[in-house]
Structure 1
Amino acid sequence: MTPITEPTTARHLRPSVIAANPWLFPIPEIARLANGLEVWAYNLPGQHVIALDLTLDIDLSVEPRQLEGIATMALRTSDEGSHDHPGPRLAEALESAGAAYDGAINHHFTGCSLDAPTTRIQTALDLFREILTTPEHNPADLSRHVSLRLAEIEQERVSGPATANRSTRQLMWGRDQRRGRPSGGTAETLHRITRDDLAAFHASTWRPDVARVVIAGDHPDLIGLVTEALGDWVRPTTPAVTTAEVPTALPPAGAGVVHLVDRPEAVQVDLRIGGVGLSRRDRDLPALQLAGVAVGGSFLSRLNERLREDLGYTYGIGFSHRPSSSSSRWQVSTSVRTEVAADALAETIPLLDLGSHPLTDREVDDARAQLVTIAPLRYETASAIVGQAAAIATDGLDVDWINRYFARMSATDPDEATAVFSRVVTPQSQQTVMVGPADALRPALKARGFTVLPHRADD
């Protein structure tokens, strides 16, 4: 029998641990094609699904007032058929190429996205070109998407959270500004859109000189791919119009004012507190984002710990800040039981005042870990890289902005985070909206010292 020998000590030595290499958001190769199309390309070895975002500088204020929603219809019908692949043939061709097409509307841009395997990317890009340049604009498809949008509007009208968001938007921007009205249009405006209107809007706004492509994946010549597919996209001879309105936030009604939207049948109350935020160009943005996570951007944030864990008023409450080139805003969002809604608001307001309770080292360190330390994981896919880079490019920022942003965030201390948050989030700058049964809420709010103003959420 072979004797059993003990392993040598050397085989039990632990491997040495070395410091991780500094992580940086990658820097793209940039090109501008002859037709004006800007391209940011990220060659990412090992990423065998290529991701692409194309953003068009189409501010919704360029929509004719009587045809609002036409930008949304242009996007939603864009992949319903093309000149070479009419009707469902386009979707079938995309599926055969293993490609996925999607899009999104923002008040200041229209975005289209494409994902496809590296081995099929050329075919997918050819189909993408058809979507951009020769959409079919079938009247039946337009009619169907108008019907779907009308159904969305009806669903939003009976939804407490959607009503709260709509009311906050109206109070912040007003109904006379485009940002104060629904991005997808209203029943009145949608019914007016014709096939000819749609084709004319697409021809005048979907153009390469107001577009940029961000593409990422494992390919040695991504710019060459885009050039071959979109280099012959013809730029119209007429000047581009990308915006017709510079939004101006309306002054809030004042500290302690609650705009109350009556929903007698509601079984819970939807609460929103919001105000104007900071743009990506503001050097204080990293400090505000850190403070926002500490106050209400994580499960163990101050807001969630107090209103959920300590008091049991809600399943969750959060603070969010959405930077934008023209209409940044911050918002506190939650849903609470009707009988404790006034108490929940009274508990929330002091938690937004950091003057008497500044952020601690631990809170800022935890927020920094959530935003900075895990960034390499957050940006480990081509689509994540593309999404972040497209946001930077759309705001007119340079390719290294995200690295400077994380460096500033890493250097921010609790005093700075507290000071910036306190400057942006003030009682005087807040719009407060509560949606629920007014007869039950009004006396409870007044008893808590709030001034109650009725608000109608009709668009």
Structure 2
Amino acid sequence: MTTAPIARPEVTAPGRWEFPTPTTTRLANGLTVHMYDVPGQYVVAARLIVPLSVRWEPREKEGVISLLSRLLDEGTEQHTTEEFTELLERRGIALGAGLSDGGLHVDLDVPARNLPAALELMCAAIATPSFPEKQVGRLVRTRLAEIEQERASAPHRAAKELAATYFDASERASRPTAGTIETVKGLTRADVADFHRAHIGPTHATLVLAGDFGDTDVSALVADAFGAWAPLPRPVEPEPRPALRAPDAVRIVLVDRPGSVQSEITVAGPGPDRHVEPAWAAYPVLGFVVGGSPNARVDAVLREEKGYTYGMRASFRPRRAGGLFVTAGSVRTEVTADALTLLLGILDDARAGFSQAECRDGVDFIRNTAPGRYATADAVAEEAAALVLDGLDLDFTTTNLDRMAALTPEDLTQAYGRFVTGEWTIIVVGDATAYADQLGTLGRGQVTVVAN
């Protein structure tokens, strides 16, 4: 008995996808609230964003905002450290805070049934933190130990040296966001409390919530929790500007680690922010095509053909204003010079253009994986919070994906060449004696060796 062959189903192109649209309200104290109803997501994600710039820190107290963020879950005027921790644990609340280029963010994830209590604790953490003296001292010591730990990590050490080399010494961006040993060791509770009193308030803040709210009146819950947060008059932040690049940034800096069996390579140049005209859409695609996957140009040579690395990644990294194009990864010490030569050749040669297949693959990957990337409440909240911090419209994600669909290889070539001119800042962390002479012959600027 024979059976008829089963006809293969036709695969149609995926339809257009849109990032969710929020319901937006504004409290009397100035707090803006964006609410995203995400069906089936019963763990609600909340992100509270307060625009801040580390440029506002006094030079001798750099790191005070980072320390402040780490202290927000260490107790409030209403609860001791232990009581606050117990309340979070009892309700299944994950609460934390951090600092990005655009400002301070407080992150909360909680089962939907416990959202009222969670919002009250979130407000207490940001509005009335107690900054216990004991915890201030502990976290200062933690940051000092962290600095030493970062020094021992090649990627962290490379990132620190890149900032110091790439940006002009007058720029705050040239120094660690969380502060240095010299600035952190003298920080006190009074420093943190004074900064909080002067800069943290609801007037310019935004709360983003995402999850399955069911029949819950989330607007009422937010008003109950945050309505009493007193407004804080303060001048509006000046228009952000790109940090100045150092006049001697185009050079090679070797961070010497005698005996290291690997070299951490970082190659950086200018890049755009997400406000770039005519659109940001080309730059995520370029990052993917040049160095965003094992099949990208960089890994096709350095990993698959040469076997020099487990993987190197390239990406455009937007800041609040301006940005960087960074390629980074590790290689074996004995192939450092050859690997760097090949890498620079790949990056420079890309200015000659991109193929239709590369354009299609990059666009399809980013656009077709978007529904999966933003399928959870925390991913939606994170994206919306990032848009707020960047000063972008909340439909930016959808508009950007639509623009991406229309990209051509010529668009990619033009966008890449606009910023990637071959004026590289190169950092190599490893055994400098093994390749310093070879790198000096590359013609990529002065070679400087610094201690680890």
Pairing 1:394–2:389 present: yes
Match of 1:87 in 2: 81
**CA distance in structure 2 between the aligned counterparts of 1:214 and 1:137, rounded to whole angstroms:** 25
Report the 3-state secondary structure (helix = DSSP H, G, I; strand = E; otherwise coil) of the residue aligned with 1:225.
helix
CA distance in 1 between partners of 2:166 and 2:271 (Å):
12
1:190 to 184, 190, 193: 184
**Counterparts of residues 54-453 of structure 1 (less than 5 Å):** 54-219=48-213, 220=215, 221-236=217-232, 238-240=233-235, 242=237, 246-251=241-246, 253=248, 257-282=251-276, 283-354=278-349, 357-428=352-423, 430-453=424-447
Residue 25, structure 1, aligned to residue 19, structure 2 = yes
Q: Residues 457 and 332 of structure 1: is their aligned pair in 2 closer, same or farther, counting only changes over 3 Å?
A: farther
Q: Distance in 1 between matches of 2:247 and 2:341?
A: 18
Report the counterpart of residue 46 of structure 2 in structure 1: 52
Cα distance in 2 for partners of 1:209, 1:19 equals 45
Deviation string 1:111-165 (CA, Å, 9 cap, x unpaired) is 1110111100001111111101111211100000011100110112222221211
Q: Which deviates the most, 139-148 or 100-109?
A: 100-109
Amino acid across the alignment from 2:50? L
**Paired residue type of 1:324:** R
Q: Give the secondary structure class of the aligned counterpart of 2:79.
A: coil
CA deviation string 1:234-271 (max 9, x = no partner): 012x424646984432256476x322222224221111
Structure 1 counterpart of 2:32, from 17, 35, 38: 38
Instruction: Return the alpha-carbon distance in structure 2 between the equivalents of residues 45 and 245 of structure 1.
Output: 37
Q: Deviations over 1:290-342 (max 9, x none)?
A: 11110001121010110011011111111011222224211000111111111
Distance in 1 of aligned mates of 2:14 and 2:245? 48
Q: What one-letter code is carried by the residue in structure 2 that aligns with 1:233?
A: W
Structure 2's unaligned 5+ residue stretches are none
Distance 1:398 1:450, change over 3 A: closer
1:18 Cα deviation after fit: 6.9
SS of residue in 2 equivalent to 1:427:
coil
2 CA distance for matches of 1:318 and 1:127?
39
Farther off after superposition, 155-164 or 134-143: 155-164
Larger Rg: 1
Q: Name the SS for the 1:300 alignment partner.
A: coil
Q: Deviations over 1:342-381 (max 9, x none)?
A: 1111101121124565211221222112211110011000
Is the 8 Å Cα contact of residues 270 and 325 (structure 2) preserved in structure 1?
yes
Instruction: Measure the CA separation in 2 of the matches of 1:355 and 1:384.
Output: 32
| Deviation for aligned residue 1:398 | 1.3
Give identity over the alignment, percent. Answer: 36
**Number of residue pairs the alignment of both structures matches:** 447
Task: Please tell me the root mean square deviation across aligned C-alpha atoms, in Å.
Answer: 2.4
SS of the residue corresponding to residue 98 of structure 2 reads strand
**C-alpha contact (below 8 Å) 1:39/1:214 kept by paired residues:** yes
Counterpart CA distance in 1 for 2:116 and 2:451 is 47
TM-score for the superposition, normalised by structure 2 = 0.93
State how far apart, in whole Å, the 2-side matches of 1:374 and 1:96 are: 36
- 1:3 corresponds in structure 2 to none
Q: Secondary structure at the match of 1:285?
A: coil
Q: Is the 8 A contact 1:69 1:186 kept in 2?
A: yes
372-381 vs 210-219, which deviates more?
Answer: 210-219
Distance 2:38 2:197 in 1: 34
CA distance in 2, matches of 1:373, 1:244: 35
Distance 1:318 1:157 in 2: 22
Q: Secondary structure at the match of 2:81?
A: coil
In structure 2, the CA distance between the partners of 1:251 and 1:77, relative to structure 1 (3 Å rule), is closer
**What is the identity, as a one-letter code, of the residue corresponding to 2:287?**
G
Of 376-385 and 78-87, the range deviating more from structure 2: 78-87
What SS is found at the alignment partner of 2:345? helix
SS where residue 329 of structure 2 aligns? strand
Question: Given residue 139 of structure 2, which amino acid in structure 1 is its aligned partner?
Answer: H
Q: Work out the CA distance in 1 between the residues paired with 2:359 and 2:9.
A: 32
Matches within 5 A, 1:2-13: none
Residue 74 of structure 1, CA deviation = 0.7
Asked if the contact 1:26/1:42 (under 8 Å) is kept, the reply is yes
